[in-house]
Amino acid sequence: MTGQVGPLRGPDTVAVPAAGERPWVTRFAPSPTGYLHLGHAYSALYAWEAARASGGTFRLRIEDIDRQRCRPEFEQAILDDLRWLGLTWDGPVVRQSDRLGVYAQALDELRRQELAYPCFCTRSRIRAEIDDAASAPHGPSGEALYPGTCRSLAPREAAARMSRGEPFAWRLDVAKASARVGTLHWRDLRAGVLTATPEALGDVVIARKDVPTSYHLAVTVDDHAQGVTLVSRGEDLFHATHVHRLLQALLGLATPTYYHHNLIADSTGQRMSKRNRAVTLRHLRERRHTPDDVWSLIGLRPQAA
């Protein structure tokens, strides 16, 4: 195999629920935009093992709201790869594309609370605003944040632009929303109990121009709807969880425990991505690697072994 797996700093066994806590309900929620790689395998195996080891439930959800990038052949490949790994899920496979009505209700609720505003900005407009600003706010990964251009649009102007058919997204007014709900906390199995800082990502999109929801809104609504109590995913989504915590408070949804694992790197230190074919489960299978090889490549140990 080209692309060896780099050191994994996370624990090599899954967490068990604390005394008195119910068995975990976990989930794996891939987007069918490419083949699963070893980073996905870590999230999936961790979630599956945590559910099985605690006598809990493991759910599978296909996050396919992005109609441009999602493809049926990748969804089929996800199911095949999970079966090859020996992972079985409980209940039906949930597809986000079937749940747009549920997300629309959540968006309506945020609008009713006057915490969402329409944003007509194009990417180039946002970039120009940022370039012109003396000091633009930046997010945790150094990315420039949305400067809030449309937040102060007069409702009459926004309505006029909507009725002219100008494309728009919905954004969450994060400062206003945070002020409404006060200080929030959430728990990560590695990082401990954290105070939520959703403002770090700025006014996130809650419904895109091309899709009537967004990753943040759909994932938060669905984790609640599926009764998920432990979310395991890569640490690239760590900051997103602060936003999800805020959405939970606004929409009256339950807050799971989280486990954000290290992003698994290859031997050159490159983060695994769908573009790096060498680390896809498909490629490993073709090279006659076994599911046991995958467990040891990601450094996780099944408790039953």
Q: Which residues bind ligand GLU (CB under 6 A)?
A: 29-31, 63, 219, 233, 237
**299 contacts 12 by C-beta, under 8 angstroms:** yes
Give the nearest distance from C-beta 233 to ligand GLU in angstroms. Answer: 4
* All residues at 6 or more sequence positions from 28 whose CB lies less than 8 Å from its CB, including other chains: 40, 43, 44, 47, 48, 58, 59, 60, 61, 82, 87, 89
Q: Which residues are catalytic?
A: 274
Closest to ligand GLU by CB, 78 vs 116, is 78
Contact call for residues 282 and 272 (beta carbons, < 8 A): no
C-beta of 29: minimal distance to ligand GLU in Å?
A: 4
Q: How far is the CB of 232 from ligand GLU (least distance, A)?
A: 8
The single-letter code of the amino acid at 61 is R
Closest alpha carbon to 269 in 3, 68, 84: 3
Cβ neighbours, 10 Å, residue 193: 8
Q: How far apart are the first and last CA of the chain?
A: 25
291-298 and 38-53 helices, crossing angle to 10°:
100
State the nearest-atom distance from the C-beta of 302 to ligand GLU, in Å: 21
